[in-house]
Structure formats: structure tokens, C-alpha cells
């Protein structure tokens, strides 16, 4: 059986977008990927609105905390999904997918919901792509 892809979702603070992506990836794609997330300049907390809009999709981020990219080993991943809108501060050894998703920080709940929905859709497409890839190798 093909091993799961190790996917790292990156954003700036690891407080909104990348925790959403990690949450959806774990909920929908645990069969094909091991998801993690980190921030280029991590915040101190996951934003309360991030947790609230994810709870509306039955995904709890209550046990999550922002992680610093500097303590992660980017070399251990098979794919990095960059949601930061910034150039990465390192040269990755694996493919990078840039997802241009608006940063909802300091915006209202409606923007958080829009961002959540866009990330959910992108994660679903990624999960389906990984399942197709796995099926073609078996």
C-alpha cells in the first residue's frame, strides 16, 4: 500500500488559514495524508473565530495551538501548501502548492466563513487528487 503523503499547511500566524486546512485534511483525508500546519510568524493563539467557524463544520480546533515553522522540519514533508501569500524563507525539497486565500485576521465572521469554505473546497480537491494518485499506483 502506498504510504500517506505528509502535507504541511503554512500561513503567516498559524492562527486562521493553515489550522483550517489542517482540520479539514485530518477530517476528510486521513486515509491519504498526514497533515500538519505551521506559521511563518506564529501567533500566540488560534483565533476564536477560526474555532467557531470550524465548529460549524463539526471540526474542533480546541486542542490546536500555533506552531512555528522554525521548529518543524520542512524536509520531512511530501508537499507544502503555502497559504501565506509570501515567498517561503527556505528552499523546499518537495513540491509547493500556493493557495492564494485571503487572510481573515481582523475581519468579521462572514469573511472567516468565506475563507473556511474556500479552504474546505481546496482541501477536498487535494484529497481527491491524492486518492486518484494512490489508485493509479495500485
- For 126-135, write each residue's pLDDT tens digit: 999 999 999 9
For the chain, the domains span 5-133
Helix ranges (H only) for the chain are 17-29, 48-55, 109-137
Question: Per-residue pLDDT tens for 36-80?
Answer: 999 999 999 999 999 999 999 999 999 999 999 888 887 889 999
Question: Would you state the pLDDT for residue 91?
Answer: 87
- Which helix (H) or strand (E) segment holds residue 85: the answer is none
Q: Which residues contact 21 (CB under 8 A, 6 or more apart)?
A: 9, 35, 37, 81, 83, 99, 119, 122, 123
| CA–CA dist 82, 134 (Å, integer) | 23
CA 76 to centroid of chain Cα atoms: 16
Cβ count near 69 (within 10 Å): 22
Question: Per-residue pLDDT tens for 74-124?
Answer: 788 999 999 999 999 888 889 999 999 999 999 999 999 999 999 999 999
Q: What is the pTM of this model?
A: 0.95
Q: 33 forms bridges with which residues in the sheet?
A: 5
Cβ count near 114 (within 10 Å): 15
Q: CATH topology for 5-133?
A: Rossmann fold (3.40.50)
Amino acid at each position: 500500500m502506498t504510504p500517506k503523503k505528509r502535507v504541511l499547511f503554512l500561513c503567516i500566524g498559524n492562527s486562521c488559514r493553515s489550522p483550517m486546512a489542517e482540520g479539514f485534511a485530518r477530517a476528510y483525508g486521513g486515509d491519504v495524508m498526514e497533515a500538519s500546519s505551521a506559521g511563518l510568524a506564529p501567533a500566540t493563539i488560534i483565533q476564536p473565530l477560526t474555532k467557531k467557524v470550524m465548529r460549524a463544520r463539526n471540526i474542533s480546533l480546541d486542542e490546536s495551538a500555533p506552531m512555528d515553522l522554525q521548529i518543524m522540519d520542512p524536509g520531512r514533508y511530501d508537499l507544502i501548501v503555502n497559504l501565506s501569500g509570501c515567498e517561503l524563507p527556505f528552499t523546499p525539497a518537495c513540491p509547493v502548492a500556493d493557495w492564494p486565500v485571503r487572510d481573515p485576521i481582523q475581519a468579521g465572521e462572514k469573511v472567516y466563513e468565506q475563507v473556511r469554505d474556500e479552504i474546505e473546497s481546496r482541501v477536498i480537491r487535494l484529497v481527491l487528487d491524492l486518492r486518484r494518485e494512490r489508485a493509479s499506483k495500485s
